[in-house]
């Protein structure tokens, strides 16, 4: 899935490209192509499924951690502003 989100931060419009590859290996080449040019990435996992967190180990060298919920929307806007 792919979406764009535009935010205004300090009176500057910033457009984020949000790619959801669902962790599928078949998107690996696409993922590498885009994150190489990215200013930031979001590594997302399911808190109710520990294996989904363990699968992120290869992505989390020195990642900023921001707790939020896609289900409830908790801290999502703050996360997008921080990323922008």
Name residues whose C-beta falls within 8 Å of residue 81's C-beta, 6 or more positions apart in sequence: 7, 9
Look at residues 38, 48, 21, 25 and name the one whose alpha carbon lies nearest to residue 84: 38
Tell me if residue 17 falls in helix, strand or coil: strand
Q: Mind listing the domains of the chain with CATH numbers?
A: 2-83 (3.40.50.300)
CB atoms within 10 A of CB 10: 7
CB atoms within 10 A of CB 66: 12
Over the Cα atoms of the chain, what is R_g?
A: 14
One digit per residue, the tens of pLDDT, for the chain of length 84 reads 788 989 898 999 998 888 776 666 665 666 666 667 777 777 788 888 888 888 777 666 657 778 888 889 999 888 888 888
């Amino acid at each position: 899935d792919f979406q764009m989100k535009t935010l205004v931060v300090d009176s500057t419009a910033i457009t984020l490209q949000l790619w959801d590859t669902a962790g599928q290996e078949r998107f690996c080449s696409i993922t590498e192509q885009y994150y190489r040019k990215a200013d930031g990435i979001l590594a997302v996992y399911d808190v109710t499924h520990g294996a989904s967190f363990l699968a992120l180990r290869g992505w989390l060298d020195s990642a900023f951690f921001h707790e939020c919920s896609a289900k409830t929307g908790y801290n999502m806007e703050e996360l997008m502003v921080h990323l922008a």
